[in-house]
Amino acid sequence: MWIDSHCHLDAPEFDADRDAVVQRAVAAGVRMLVIPAVGAFDWDSAREQAHRHGFAYALGIHPLYVMQACEQDLTLLAAQLERHRADPRLVAVGEIGLDFFVPGLDAEKQQLFYMEQLKLARRFALPVILHVRRSADQLLAGLGRIPVAGGIAHAFNGSAQQAQRFIDLGFKLGFGGTLTFERSLQIRRLATELPETAVVLETDAPDIPPLWLYKTAEQRAAGESTVRNEPAELPRIAESLSVLRGWTPAHTAAVTGANVLAALPRLRGLLDG
C-alpha cells in the first residue's frame, strides 16, 4: 500500500482529467492521498476532492499565499476547522510554514500567519503539514513556543541536525521527486541515514517532478514543457528510496505507510474503514 502524503489534487492542472489521474494512481497501488489546501480560495475544493475520491485533506494558508491573504482569513480558517472538526477526512492543518527562498515576501506577515495557524492546530488537536524552504530554524523556533501534535515537514531539505530536531518534536520528513536526482546529495544522504521511522513519501503533484519528467531550462526554452507530476509516480519515486536504503519495495511501502499513519493519526480510521 502506498500513501502519497502530499498531493495537490485540487490544483487547476488536474481539472481536465482529474478522474483519470486518480484512476492511474489507484492502478499504481496508491491507496491514499493527502490533499493540503493552500489558501481560503481552495479550502472547499480540497475537501470536496477528498470526499469525492475517498482521500484526506488539510486546511491552511500556505506562506506563498500569505501575501494575498488578510488577517480575517485566519478567523475564517478557525471557523472552517470548527465546522469540519468531526470530519474524519480532515487530518491536519496545512499547508502552513515559512518560505525565505522566494524574494519579495513579507517575513513578518509570514511569521504572524505561521504562529496563528500553530495556535489553531493546538486548539483543534491536529498535526500540521509544514512548508519548509530555507526556514527550518525559524519553523523549529515557532514549534518551541507553540508545540503541536507533530505532523510532516514537507519536501525537507535541511541539515541532519535540523532533521533530528523535527523528529524529536514528533515530525516525519517528506521526500519526493527530488530524491530521484543523483545530484540531490543532501536529500539523498538524509533519506539514507535518517531513522526509518522518520521518512514519508510524497509527490507534491503537480509540482516537483521526478527525474524522468523533468525538463532542463534549455529544454523549456526550446519549447519542451515539463510533464505534469502525478500521484501515480509515487511507487517509482519510492524505488529511489528502496535502492538508497537497500529495502525491498514491499518494505518501503510498509515503513513509509506506517510513518504517515503515525504522523496523521486520523488516516488510520479512513484506511481501516
pLDDT over 90 at 19, yes or no: yes
Which domain range does residue 152 map to? 2-272
Q: In what order do the strands lie in the sheet with 171-175?
A: 2-4, 30-36, 56-59, 90-99, 128-133, 151-154, 171-175, 199-201
**Rounded to an integer, what distance in angstroms lies between the CA atom of residue 224 and that of residue 209?**
14
Express each pLDDT in 80-99 by its tens digit.
Answer: 999 999 999 999 999 999 99
What is the total count of domains within the chain? 1
> Helical H runs in the chain?
18-27, 43-53, 72-83, 107-123, 136-145, 160-168, 185-193, 217-221, 234-245, 249-263, 266-272
pLDDT of residue 225: 65
The amino acid at residue 130 is L
How does residue 273 score in pLDDT terms, banded at 50, 70 and 90? confident
pLDDT over 80 at 221, yes or no: no
Rounded mean pLDDT, 217-240: 86
CATH code for the domain in which residue 177 is found = 3.20.20.140
**Rounded to an integer, what distance in angstroms lies between the CA atom of residue 65 and that of residue 102?**
12
